Amino acid sequence: MLKILKYSFFDLMRSRWSYVYFAFYLLLGIVLLFLNNDLSKAVITLMNVIIVLVPLIGTIFGVMYYYNSKEFTELLLAQPLRRSSIFLGQYLGVALSLSMSLILGLGLPFVFYGLFKSNAIWDFSLLLITGTFLTLIFTALAFNIALSNENKIKGFGYAILLWLFLAIIYDGIFLMTLILFEDYPLDKLSLVGTMLNPIDLSRTLILLKLDISALLGYTGAVFKQFFGTSFGIIVSLITLVVWVILPVLRILSKSKRKDF
């Protein structure tokens, strides 16, 4: 598995897209710092961007990589190698190279700007952690889609639809549900609804840092326990880990049974 991971990783490192991705984040970081002149404000803007963009790039890139390297995968399958190690290796190769572009691309300008001397370092590391988690989750989801669809166009379509659903449509449905059932106690439902969507989950993690004063304005014991203590951060992080593990498990079981 490690050999395949290494191969995929270096293959991607040499590819143009990783550089584009890296350069994009580098530019974003520099421009934000240049315009805001303030580390913590730049971190806030970045959070909004990351929550939307990282999942999009993760899904598209994952699907693209799978379809592009399909012939190579078929070649590998002819060798005496375990299927799980082939697919896991490829998945980790993509996810890790994307995460690295993200961390380096955003990290470099911020470090040069004096991150280590400012108190925004915790917010910033939380941002990078959420970004990495989102990459891991959405690349895994993309591999799932690609494995289930032989047709490239269909696969891409589903990938974009998945992103659109989780980033925008889900929140719309969520909001409508909350408004429709406003006569009932909703705090548990709203927390569960957040847990079911990794993008919402990451947003909540960031809200806990940014808008804690507004969040505490709502009366509700469950909310208060969730947002007022470190309980919220711990639960969110654990759920993010679960969100990584579940799609990866599906990749493994799906790839085992698939005919090539």
Partner 1 sequence: MKCVLQHSVLFFLALTFGSAFSQTINVCENCEISSLKEAISTAKDFDTIVVKKGTYKEHNIIVDKPLTIIGENYPLIDGELKGEVITIVSDHVTVDGLFIINVGTSYTEDYAAIRVKKSNHFIIQNVVLEKLFFGIYLEKSSYGKIYHNKIIGDAVEEYNSGNGIQLWYSNHVVVEHNYVEHVRDGIYLEFSDDCLIKNNVSAENLRYGLHFMFSNDDIYQDNTFENNGAGVAVMFSKHIKMLHNTFKENWGTASYGMLLKEINDAEIRGNTFEENTIGINIEGSNRIIYKNNNFINNGWAIKVRGACYTNEFLENNFLYNSFDISYNSKVNDNVFNNNYWSNYTGYDLNKDGIGDIPYRPVKLFSYIVNRTPETIILLRSLFIDIIDFSEKVSPVFTPDNLMDNNPLIKKIIW
Asked whether the beta carbons of 9 and 93 are under 8 A apart, the reply is: yes
162's enclosing H/E stretch is: helix 152-164
Is 186 a binding residue for partner 1 by CB under 8 A? The answer is: yes
Sole window of 16-24, 70-78, 135-143, 189-197 interacting with partner 1 (rule: CB under 8 A)? 189-197
User: DSSP class of residue 169?
Assistant: I
- Residue 58 Cβ vs partner 1, minimum distance, rounded to whole Å: 16
Among 89, 105, 203, 205, binds partner 1 (CB under 8 A): 203
Is 147 a binding residue for partner 1 by CB under 8 A? The answer is: no
Q: Kindly tell me which of 7 and 174 has the beta carbon lying closer to partner 1.
A: 174
Q: How far is CA 104 from CA 23, 36, 112, 118, 244, in A?
A: 10, 20, 12, 19, 22
Among 12, 28, 42, 51, binds partner 1 (CB under 8 A): 51
Size of the site for partner 1 (CB under 8 A): 40
d(CA 76, CA 91): 15
Q: Phi, psi at residue 128, to the nearest 5°? A: -65, -40
Q: Kindly tell me which of 116 and 184 has the beta carbon lying closer to partner 1.
A: 184
Single-letter residue type at 57? I
CA angle 234, 197, 60 (to 5 degrees): 115
Among 27, 75, 161, 175, binds partner 1 (CB under 8 A): 175
Q: Phi, psi at residue 185, to the nearest 5°? A: -65, 125
Among 27, 111, 168, 196, binds partner 1 (CB under 8 A): 168
Among 41, 70, 83, 254, binds partner 1 (CB under 8 A): 41
Per the listing, tokens 């280590």 go with 116
Q: Is the dihedral of CA 102, 108, 110, 114 positive or negative?
A: positive
Is 218 a binding residue for partner 1 by CB under 8 A? The answer is: yes
Is 171 a binding residue for partner 1 by CB under 8 A? The answer is: yes
Among 220, 233, 237, 252, binds partner 1 (CB under 8 A): 220
Sole window of 86-94, 139-147, 185-193, 249-257 interacting with partner 1 (rule: CB under 8 A)? 185-193
Q: How far is CA 256 from CA 79, 90, 92, 193, in A?
A: 15, 15, 17, 32
Query: Which tokens in the block code for residue 41?
Result: 């404000």
Binding site for partner 1 (CB under 8 A): 41, 44, 48, 51-52, 167-169, 171-172, 174-175, 178-179, 182, 186-187, 189-191, 193-194, 200, 203-204, 206-207, 210-220, 223-224
